A and B are shown apart, each in its own frame.
Chain A
Amino acid sequence: MATTKKTATKKVAKKAAPSLKFNTAWEYAPALEGTSHVTIAPQYELFIDGKFVKPESGKYFNTINPATEANLSSIAEANAADVDKAVKAARKAYNGAWGKMSGAERAKYIFRISRMIQEKARELCVIETLDGGKPIRESRDIDIPLAANHFFYYAGWADKLDYAFPNRKPTSLGVAGQIIPWNFPLLMAAWKIAPALATGNTVVLKPAETTPLTALKLAEIIQECDLPPGVVNILTGAGATGAALVQHNDINKIAFTGSTEVGKLIQQACAGSSKKLTLELGGKAANIIFEDAPLDQAVEGIINGIFFNQGHVCCAGSRLFVQESVYKTVLRKLKDRMATLIVGNPLDKNTDIGAINSKQQLDTIHKYITIGKKEGAEMYQTDINLPRKGFYCKPTLFTDVAQSSRIAQEEIFGPVLTVQTFRTEDEVIEKANNTPYGLSAGVWTDKGSKIFNLTTKIRAGVVWANTYNKFDPTSPFGGYKESGYGREGGLQGLAGYLHI
Chain B
Amino acid sequence: MSTNRLSILKTYKLYIGGQFPRTESGRSYKATNSKGDHLANMCWGSKKDVRDAIVSARAAWKGWSARAAFNRGQILYRIAEMLEGRSEQFVSELVSMDVTAQDAKEEVQDSIDRLVYYAGWCDKYQQVFGTVNPVASSHFNFSVPESTGVVGIVSKEASPLLSLVSLIAPAIAGGNTVVVIPSYSKPLAAISFAEVINDSDVPGGVINIITGKATELAPALAEHMDVNALVLGNESDELDKDAILKGTHNLKRIVAYHEINWKTEQGQSPYFILDLQETKTTWHPIENIGGAGAKY
A adjacent to B, CB under 8 Å: yes
Q: Say whether B283 contacts A492, CB under 8 Å.
A: no
A74 interface residue, CB < 8 Å from B? no
Interface CB pairs A-B, < 8 A, 13: A167-B269, A271-B245, A272-B242, A455-B280, A465-B284, A467-B284, A474-B134, A475-B141, A475-B143, A478-B279, A490-B281, A492-B131, A492-B279
Q: Say whether B135 contacts A466, CB under 8 Å.
A: no
Q: Say whether A436 contacts B280, CB under 8 Å.
A: no
Instruction: Name the residue on A nearest B142 (C-beta).
Output: A475
Q: Say whether B281 contacts A462, CB under 8 Å.
A: yes
Residue of B135, B143, B246, B251 near A492 (CB, 8 A) is B143
Q: Say whether B283 contacts A467, CB under 8 Å.
A: yes
The 8 A CB mask of A447-480 against B (1 = contact, 0 = none) is 0000100011000111111110010101111101
B263 interface residue, CB < 8 Å from A? no
Chain B residues within an 8 Å CB radius of A463 = 280-283
Residue among A168, A263, A475 facing the most chain B CB atoms (10 A cut-off): A475
A207 interface residue, CB < 8 Å from B? no
- A167-B269, A462-B281 are contacts. A474–B242 as well, Cβ < 8 Å? no
B136 interface residue, CB < 8 Å from A? yes
Chain A residues within an 8 Å CB radius of B242 = 271-272
- Tell me the count of chain B residues lying within 8 A, CB to CB, of chain A: 32
Q: Say whether B246 contacts A490, CB under 8 Å.
A: no
CB distance from B279 to the nearest CB of A (A): 5
A281-B251, A487-B279 known; 5 other A-B pairs, CB under 8 Å? A264-B251, A271-B242, A271-B245, A472-B133, A481-B250
Q: Say whether A472 contacts B251, CB under 8 Å.
A: no
Q: Say whether B135 contacts A472, CB under 8 Å.
A: yes
Q: Say whether B251 contacts A263, CB under 8 Å.
A: yes
B35 interface residue, CB < 8 Å from A? no
A232 interface residue, CB < 8 Å from B? no
Q: Say whether B251 contacts A476, CB under 8 Å.
A: no
Q: Say whether B283 contacts A475, CB under 8 Å.
A: yes
Chain B residues within an 8 Å CB radius of A456 = 66
Q: Say whether B282 contacts A455, CB under 8 Å.
A: yes
Residue of B141, B245, B253 near A268 (CB, 8 A) is B245
Chain B residues within an 8 Å CB radius of A476 = 131, 133, 143, 279, 281
Binding site for B on A (CB under 8 A): 149, 165-168, 260, 263-264, 267-268, 271-272, 279, 281, 436, 451, 455-456, 460-467, 470, 472, 474-478, 480-482, 484-485, 487, 490-492, 500
B38 interface residue, CB < 8 Å from A? no
- A482-B250, A485-B251, A492-B143 are contacts. A475–B281 as well, Cβ < 8 Å? yes
* CA–CA, A263 and B248, complex, Å: 12
Count of inter-chain pairs, beta carbons less than 8 A: 101
Q: Say whether B251 contacts A461, CB under 8 Å.
A: no
The 8 A CB mask of B219-232 against A (1 = contact, 0 = none) is 00000000010000
Residue of B131, B133, B135, B246 near A271 (CB, 8 A) is B246
* CA–CA, A260 and B251, complex, Å: 9
B249 interface residue, CB < 8 Å from A? yes
Residue of B141, B278, B284 near A472 (CB, 8 A) is B141
* CA–CA, A267 and B284, complex, Å: 34
B68 interface residue, CB < 8 Å from A? no
B285 interface residue, CB < 8 Å from A? yes
B67 interface residue, CB < 8 Å from A? no
- A463-B281, A463-B282 are contacts. A490–B131 as well, Cβ < 8 Å? yes
Q: Say whether B135 contacts A475, CB under 8 Å.
A: yes
CB distance from B143 to the nearest CB of A (A): 5
B128 interface residue, CB < 8 Å from A? yes
Q: Say whether B271 contacts A500, CB under 8 Å.
A: yes
* CA–CA, A463 and B134, complex, Å: 16
Chain B residues within an 8 Å CB radius of A281 = 251
- A263-B251, A271-B241 are contacts. A481–B281 as well, Cβ < 8 Å? no
Instruction: Name the residue on B nearest A436 (C-beta).
Output: B250
* CA–CA, A113 and B50, complex, Å: 52
CB distance from A444 to the nearest CB of B (A): 11
Smallest CB-CB A-B distances: 6 pairs = A271-B245, A472-B135, A474-B133, A465-B284, A475-B133, A272-B242
Residue of B134, B251, B284 near A484 (CB, 8 A) is B251
Q: Say whether A490 contacts B143, CB under 8 Å.
A: yes
B34 interface residue, CB < 8 Å from A? no
Chain B residues within an 8 Å CB radius of A490 = 131, 133, 143, 281
* CA–CA, A465 and B142, complex, Å: 12
The 8 A CB mask of B123-149 against A (1 = contact, 0 = none) is 000001001011111010101000010
CB distance from B243 to the nearest CB of A (A): 9
Chain B residues within an 8 Å CB radius of A149 = 136
* CA–CA, A418 and B61, complex, Å: 30
Chain B residues within an 8 Å CB radius of A260 = 251
CB distance from B259 to the nearest CB of A (A): 11
Instruction: Name the residue on B nearest A469 (C-beta).
Output: B283
Q: Say whether A470 contacts B241, CB under 8 Å.
A: no
Residue of B136, B269, B283 near A464 (CB, 8 A) is B283
Chain B residues within an 8 Å CB radius of A470 = 135, 137, 139, 283
CB distance from B246 to the nearest CB of A (A): 5
CB distance from B84 to the nearest CB of A (A): 27
Residue of A279, A462, A491 near B131 (CB, 8 A) is A491
Chain A residues within an 8 Å CB radius of B269 = 167
Instruction: Name the residue on A nearest B284 (C-beta).
Output: A465
B241-284 with Cβ < 8 A to chain A: 241-242, 245-246, 248-251, 253, 269, 271, 278-284
* CA–CA, A416 and B282, complex, Å: 25
Q: Say whether A481 contacts B251, CB under 8 Å.
A: yes
CB distance from A320 to the nearest CB of B (A): 18
Q: Say whether A474 contacts B283, CB under 8 Å.
A: no
* CA–CA, A481 and B285, complex, Å: 27
Instruction: Name the residue on A nearest B229 (C-beta).
Output: A485
Residue among B128, B136, B251 facing the most chain A CB atoms (10 A cut-off): B251
Instruction: Name the residue on A nearest B133 (C-beta).
Output: A474
Chain A residues within an 8 Å CB radius of B248 = 267
* CA–CA, A285 and B65, complex, Å: 22
Chain B residues within an 8 Å CB radius of A480 = 148, 278, 280
Chain B residues within an 8 Å CB radius of A474 = 133-136, 141
* CA–CA, A165 and B284, complex, Å: 26
The 8 A CB mask of B145-156 against A (1 = contact, 0 = none) is 000100000000
Residue among B131, B133, B134 facing the most chain A CB atoms (10 A cut-off): B133
* CA–CA, A472 and B228, complex, Å: 28
* CA–CA, A478 and B282, complex, Å: 12
Q: Say whether B281 contacts A482, CB under 8 Å.
A: no
* CA–CA, A462 and B279, complex, Å: 8
Instruction: Name the residue on B nearest A166 (C-beta).
Output: B128
* CA–CA, A480 and B133, complex, Å: 20
Chain A residues within an 8 Å CB radius of B278 = 461, 480, 485
Chain B residues within an 8 Å CB radius of A451 = 284
Chain A residues within an 8 Å CB radius of B250 = 436, 481-482
